[in-house]
Structure 1
């Protein structure tokens, strides 16, 4: 499946969440990750995130697209891929 994850995390936890998400998905914009992932890997990722975030202060949204052939992505302006910025 294809997922898009967006988040609003307090500054003291954001780097840990970002580092974890980079293991599973592609960092496309500030607070946005996307990519193909299995259900099992997604559940592992979310379980690990659950141990980091504070549900009273942080939020994370997971958009699941079961059939990635139905995705049409338009980018207006410069397309960013933060993963490529780091070697």
Structure 2
């Protein structure tokens, strides 16, 4: 499945969350990741994040797409991250 993950994490934990997300998805911008991931790996990603985040302070949003991307991504200004194409 295709995934877009965005987060708003306290500075104390953001480096750990960034490291976890980079194991599974492509970093495209500050606090934004996207990519293709299996359901099993998505479950593992969520479990790892749950161990790090503070649910009273932090926020993680995961958008999942079961088939093709239904959006077009347009970047204006500085391009960040390592992946240019939306899968």
TM-score (norm 1): 0.86
Unaligned runs of 5+ in 2: none
Three-state SS of the structure 1 residue aligned to 2:80 is coil
- Where do 1:15-34 residues align within 5 Å? 15-34=15-34
Give the conservation status (yes or no) of the 8 Å contact 2:2–2:69: no
1:82 Cα deviation after fit: 4.7
Distance in 1 (alpha carbons) for counterparts of 2:59 and 2:48: 14
Please provide the CA RMSD for this pair. Answer: 1.5
Aligned residues: 83
Distance of aligned partners of 1:67 and 1:46 in 2 relative to their CA distance in 1, 3 Å threshold: same
1:73 Cα deviation after fit: 2.1
1:65 Cα deviation after fit: 1.0
TM-score (norm 2): 0.86
Give the structure 2 partner of residue 58 of structure 1.
58
Unaligned runs of 5+ in 1: none
1:49 Cα deviation after fit: 0.4
Give the structure 2 partner of residue 72 of structure 1.
72
Distance of aligned partners of 1:17 and 1:76 in 2 relative to their CA distance in 1, 3 Å threshold: same
Q: Which runs of 4+ in 1 moved over 4 A?
A: none
1:74 Cα deviation after fit: 2.1
